[in-house]
Amino acid sequence: MTAWYLRWLLRPFFDAGATVRDVLHGLDVRPDESRWTHTWSSASEIRHVPGWVRHRLAAWIGPDGRVVALPSQRASMAAARRRAEQQARRREWQAQAAAAGIEVTPEPRMSRAQALAAPPAAPTLADAVNARHWAAVARMTLAGRGLPTTSRLKPSRRDDWREDLQQQRQRREAAAALLAGEQ
pLDDT of 47: 82
The mean pLDDT of 150-176, rounded to a whole number, is: 69
Q: What is the C-alpha separation between 160 and 165, in angstroms, rounded?
A: 9
Alpha helices in the chain (DSSP H): 3-15, 20-28, 49-58, 71-99, 112-116, 125-144, 155-182
| End position of a domain, from candidates 23, 53, 69 | 69
Residue at 53 is within a domain: yes
Report pLDDT digits (tens) over 128-144: 777 777 777 777 777 77
CA distances from 143 to 27, 86, 147 (A): 79, 65, 6
Q: What is the 8-class DSSP label of residue 47? A: S
pLDDT of 39: 66
Q: Rounded to the nearest 10 degrees, how much is the dihedral formed by the CA atoms of 89, 94, 99, 104?
A: 150
Q: Which domain holds residue 23?
A: 3-69
The percentage of residues in the chain with a pLDDT greater than 70, rounded to a whole number, is 87
pLDDT of 148: 65
pLDDT of 87 over the 90 cut: yes
Q: What is the C-alpha separation between 39 and 27, in angstroms, rounded?
A: 9
What is the total count of domains within the chain?
Answer: 2
| End position of a domain, from candidates 26, 42, 69 | 69
The overall average pLDDT reported for the chain is: 81
pLDDT of 102: 82
By the 8 A CB rule, do 48 and 98 touch? no
pLDDT of 37: 79
pLDDT of 36 over the 70 cut: yes
Q: What is the C-alpha separation between 77 and 81, in angstroms, rounded?
A: 6
Residue at 41 is within a domain: yes
Residue at 160 is within a domain: yes
Residue at 60 is within a domain: yes
The percentage of residues in the chain with a pLDDT greater than 90, rounded to a whole number, is 13
Residue at 135 is within a domain: no
By the 8 A CB rule, do 5 and 34 touch? no
What's the distance, Cα to Cα, between the start and end of the chain in Å? 80
Report residue 183's pLDDT band, with 50, 70 and 90 as the boundaries: low
| End position of a domain, from candidates 46, 69, 92 | 69
**More confident call, 99 vs 133:** 99
Residue at 76 is within a domain: no
pLDDT of 149: 65
pLDDT of 156 over the 60 cut: no
Residue at 36 is within a domain: yes
